[in-house]
DNA sequence: CTGTTAGCGCTTTCAG
DNA sequence: CTGAAAGCGCTAACAG
């Protein structure tokens, strides 16, 4: 059962190794009959080329890295699905790196990736990332990088996000239009551009509509740990009793729902909530959750397509470009 | 910016390649000062070992394959999270293969994997898998495989599932205890053992409790396409008007909820639903969804641990073993 | 159309 | 303690 390799095939067929190699690649310089003989034997012996040996020689891996904070998350899992969708059509494989919002892990992964491990990288940076030296290094190493959702503006490469500012502005405006006067905001770390944009949209909407921005009503969470976040949110809502709430990510909105249930605060009568969310069953929640839905799957596809285009063109440097995709805002009221 | 490799380090330090290699591996046969010099330069030049070259030589990749039907799914994404959790501690990387329930893709992936691409495989087989020759091949190639959730019993290796039969039996019993007389069952393809077990649990519970098993009330779905499934479920419910429903996977239960909303059927008054589900926010649904929750994350961890144990022990053949983990059944009533 | 040869970057005998 | 050399499996000049 020793592994069958190209050498073995060559020996059995009385051909040279290179001929076999070429035949397998369907090279035009090999005779038809020879090709057939080679392919036939390869199939018979269930020959599988060694991906790594080929890659080592060719200096490419046919593999891309997807670096994300988490996978058990509606948004990221949809993005990964989209990425994989196009990767499969291109004959590429997907290596997953979960940073778990740990900056050091992210740095480690990116460093590791540099040595020809992958041909390209799709990344949504971790919450704690501040210094982005590691990403600059990667960019310099002629490994194409595409940022999605959580991006670093100052790395000159392709970036793809949703219209975070605009969507947040509109969403907040919706709350105002519904009569909310005291609108809270739950957000992820300020170190993330995406977070700053969302909060800015929220603030500007307030100001433009004659409401005062009260920074006490804006909370940033640096952790992912729900057991820590939940009591904070519950407390926050209990003390401040906002009548509107804009949430920067789904998880925070769901914790708000739980908090309200426990505090006997009626949504949406006492508190209207709108949140960025990829939750498909938002309409099945009672009360249903008003959502700002990012085109996660399509974003994954788009990001991957940009990357593969660069890979196919042999261009390692992607243009410093920022694409914004449109989110969909859906207001859902109580069905009663 | 040409890539810095071990050769370059050797040249700059006036050492041989092998010495550098050994120093980097902290081999005991290298002098302390030499080690320090090497490590210092490596750090300075940001040397990153070429993973593939090392793997080629060592005949191991420090990478495992995770083969699953989908990623944008609560259950699977949690499992992947668990797998990655232990992979990270072991210094392994995770290559994701999404079969999208396509048997041919699964075969292709498994074949591809055979040639040293990965050191081990964690797999939940695709719905359409019937012939498992490809899995036998893999098993023979001395690359360890662990099945989880959707397993093939006749491949002699480690398998890990939840107590599907028992949980289904209990869940169905719960419906009966609540007074349901006409209990429907929505299931995935019969080609999957897991599906047969779940349906069997349902049927046995009916029989043991004096209810007649009506095969017209059992539906198997061969597709994943919700646009196809939804109208079928809606029709099915409309025509049969069951008073209880046991669903084999979350997605089918959610489509049931939607169907009932559109048919003005009141859950749980007219129809009590219980489903296998990894949906964390099940209690936030209105009416809340009664669930059979598999320990997805822990299953991922457990499966990975079994695999790594084999890898560490250098045993390529895993014992033909079947571990069952316990699911949690939670009945949720309307809050009114 | 086919074969010879050199090497991708690394590890690992085998010699000293 | 260090070095020379072979080779993992494959591809790609360079010859014929």
Instruction: Tell me what pLDDT residue B313 has.
Output: 86
Q: Is the minimum distance from the CB of B54 to strand C below 7 Å?
A: yes
Domain assignment of residue A224, yes or no = yes
Q: Considering the domain boundaries, does residue A1 fall inside one?
A: no
Q: Are residues A182 and A69 in the same domain?
A: no
Give CA–CA dist B152/B223, Å, rounded: 20
Whether A73 sits inside 8 A of B77 (CB atoms) is: yes
Q: Which nucleotide is nearest to B58 (CA to C1')?
A: C11
Task: Please report which helix (H) or strand (E) contains residue B103, including its range.
Answer: helix B103-113
- The interface residues of chain B toward chain A in range 218-247, judged by CB-CB distance below 8 A, are none
Are B16 and B96 found together in one domain?
A: no
Q: Are the C-beta atoms of residues B166 and B201 closer than 8 Å to each other?
A: yes
pLDDT in tens, chain A (336 residues): 357 999 999 888 889 898 999 999 888 888 888 888 899 999 999 999 999 999 999 999 999 999 999 999 999 999 999 999 999 999 999 999 999 999 999 999 999 998 889 999 999 998 766 678 888 888 888 899 999 999 988 889 999 999 999 999 999 999 999 999 999 999 999 989 999 999 999 999 999 999 999 999 999 998 888 999 999 999 999 999 999 999 999 999 999 999 998 999 999 899 999 999 999 999 888 888 999 999 999 999 999 999 999 999 887 788 999 999 999 999 998 654
Are residue A144 and residue A77 in the same domain, yes or no?
yes
- Is residue B240 in some structural domain? yes
- Cα B30 to Cα A252: distance, rounded to the nearest angstrom: 53
Asked whether residue A6's C-beta has any atom of DNA/RNA strand D within 7 A, the reply is: yes
Q: Which of B242, B292, B293, B240 is nearest to B267 (CA)?
A: B242
Handedness of CA B12, B15, B17, B20 (dihedral sign): negative
Q: What is the CATH number of the domain that holds A218?
A: 3.40.50.2300
Residue A138 CA to residue A113 CA, distance in Å, equals: 8
The verdict on B137 touching A (C-beta cutoff 8 Å) is: yes
Q: Each residue of B95-136: pLDDT tens digit?
A: 999 999 899 999 999 999 988 899 999 999 987 666 788 888
Chain A segment 144-203 residues within 8 A of B by beta carbon are none
Whether residue B146 is contained in a domain is answered as: yes
Q: Collapsing DSSP states into helix, strand and coil, what is residue A318?
A: coil
Contact present, A160 and A99 (Cβ < 8 Å) = no
Q: Are residues A279 and A175 in the same domain?
A: yes
Q: Which of residues 40-99 of B touch A (CB under 8 A)?
A: 46, 48-53, 55-56, 61, 63, 70-74, 77-78, 80-81, 84, 88, 93-98
If asked whether residues B222 and B285 sit together in one domain, one would say yes
Residue B270: inside a domain, yes or no? yes
Task: Please tell me whether any atom of strand C lies within 7 Å of the Cβ of B14.
Answer: no
Nucleotides of chain C in contact with protein CB (under 7 A) are 1-13
Distance CA(B35)–CA(B94), nearest Å, equals 31
Q: Is-contact A160 A147, C-beta < 8 A?
A: yes
Q: Supply the pLDDT for residue B2.
A: 57
Three-point CA angle A201, A202, A205, nearest 5°? 85
Nearest residue to nucleotide D2 when comparing alpha carbons to its C1'? B19
Whether residue B149 is found in the same domain as residue B170: no
Domain containing B40: what range?
A: 6-49
Asked if residue B224 lies in contact with residue B71, where contact means CB atoms within 8 angstroms, the answer is no
CA angle A293, A329, A158 (to 5 degrees): 50
The answer to whether residue A206 neighbours chain B at the CB level (below 8 Å) is: no
Cα(A75)–Cα(B250) distance, integer angstroms: 18
Do B302 and B155 have their domain in common?
yes
C-alpha span between A79 and A163 (Å, rounded): 16
Q: Is residue A127 part of a domain?
A: yes
Nearest to A64 by CA among A83, A89, A42, A40: A83
**In this structure, what DSSP letter does residue A91 have?**
T
- Phi and psi for A262 in degrees, rounded to 5? -70, -25
Other Cβ atoms closer than 10 A to B152 = 18
Task: Find, among B60, B72, B54, B92, the residue nearest to A109 by Cα.
Answer: B92
Per the CB < 8 Å rule, is A115 touching B142? no
- Burial of residue A314, with CB atoms counted within 10 A of its CB: 0-12 exposed, 13-18 middle, 19 or more buried: exposed
pLDDT at A314: 82
The β-bridge partners of A292 are: A276, A329
List of chain A residues whose C-beta atoms are within 8 Å of the C-beta of residue B111:
46, 48
What is the per-residue pLDDT across B80-93, written as a single tens digit (0 to 9) for each?
Answer: 999 999 999 999 99
For chain B, give the mean pLDDT: 92
CA A24, CA A47: separation in Å to the nearest integer? 10
Chain A residues within an 8 Å CB radius of B46: 111, 114, 137
- Examine residue B203 and state whether it is found in any structural domain, yes or no: yes
**H or E stretch covering A93:** strand A93-98
State whether B288 and B300 are in the same domain: no
Helix (H, G, I), strand (E, B) or coil at A80: helix
- Overall domain count for chain B: 3
- Chain B contact for A254, CB < 8 A? yes
Q: Is the CB of B16 under 7 A from strand D?
A: yes
Same domain? For B285 and B300 the reply is: no
- Count each helix (H run) and each strand (E run) in chain A, helices first: 12, 12
> Is residue A303 domain-shared with residue A259, that is, in the same domain?
no
Q: In what order do the strands lie in the sheet with B321-325?
A: A321-325, A158-162, A145-148, A120-123, A63-68, A93-98, B93-98, B63-68, B120-123, B145-148, B158-162, B321-325
Does residue A144 share a domain with residue A245? no
Structure confidence at residue B335 (pLDDT): 56
> Alpha-carbon distance A240 to B111, whole Å?
59
Averaged in consecutive runs of 10 residues, what is the pLDDT profile of chain B (336 residues)? 81 91 88 89 92 92 96 97 98 96 92 92 82 84 92 91 97 96 96 94 96 95 91 96 96 94 92 95 89 98 96 86 96 74
Predicted confidence (pLDDT) per residue in A297-334, tens digit: 999 999 999 999 999 988 778 899 999 999 999 999 86
**Tokens for B32?**
């302390």
Q: How far apart are CA B225 and CA B167, in angstroms?
A: 27
Same domain, B13 and B24: yes
Calculate how close chain A gets to B191, using CA atoms only, in Å. 25
A58 CB burial (10 A radius; 0-12, 13-18, 19+) = exposed
């Amino acid at each position: 059962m020793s592994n069958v390799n190209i050498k073995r095939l060559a020996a059995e067929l009385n051909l040279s190794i290179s001929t076999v190699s070429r035949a397998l690649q369907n090279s035009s310089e090999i005779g038809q009959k020879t090709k057939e003989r080679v392919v036939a034997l390869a199939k018979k012996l269930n020959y599988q080329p060694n991906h790594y040996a080929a890659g080592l020689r060719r200096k490419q891996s046919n593999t891309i890295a997807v670096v994300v904070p988490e996978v058990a998350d509606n948004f990221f899992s949809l993005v990964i699905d989209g990425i994989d969708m196009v990767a499969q059509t291109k004959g590429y494989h997907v290596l997953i790196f979960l940073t778990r919002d740990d900056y050091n892990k992210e740095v480690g992964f990116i460093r590791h990736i540099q040595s020809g491990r992958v041909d390209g990288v799709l990344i949504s940076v971790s919450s704690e990332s501040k210094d982005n030296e590691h990403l600059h290094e990667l960019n310099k190493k002629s490994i194409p990088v595409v940022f999605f959702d959580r991006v670093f503006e100052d790395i000159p490469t392709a970036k793809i996000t949703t219209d975070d500012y605009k969507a947040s502005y509109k969403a907040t405006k919706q709350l105002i239009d519904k009569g909310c006067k005291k609108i809270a905001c739950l957000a992820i770390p300020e170190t993330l551009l995406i977070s700053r944009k969302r909060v800015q949209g929220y603030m500007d909407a307030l100001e433009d509509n004659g409401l005062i921005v009260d920074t006490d009503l804006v909370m940033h969470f640096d952790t992912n740990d729900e057991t820590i976040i939940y009591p904070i949110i519950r407390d926050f809502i209990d003390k401040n009793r906002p009548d509107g709430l804009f949430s920067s990510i789904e998880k925070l909105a769901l914790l708000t729902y739980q908090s309200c249930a426990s505090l006997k605060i009626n949504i949406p009568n006492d508190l209207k909530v709108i949140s960025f969310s990829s939750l498909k069953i938002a309409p099945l929640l009672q009360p249903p959750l008003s959502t700002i839905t990012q085109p996660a799957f399509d974003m994954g596809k788009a990001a991957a397509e940009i990357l593969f285009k660069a890979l196919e063109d042999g261009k390692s440097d992607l243009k410093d470009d920022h694409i914004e995709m449109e989110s969909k805002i859906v207001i859902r009221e109580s069905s009663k």
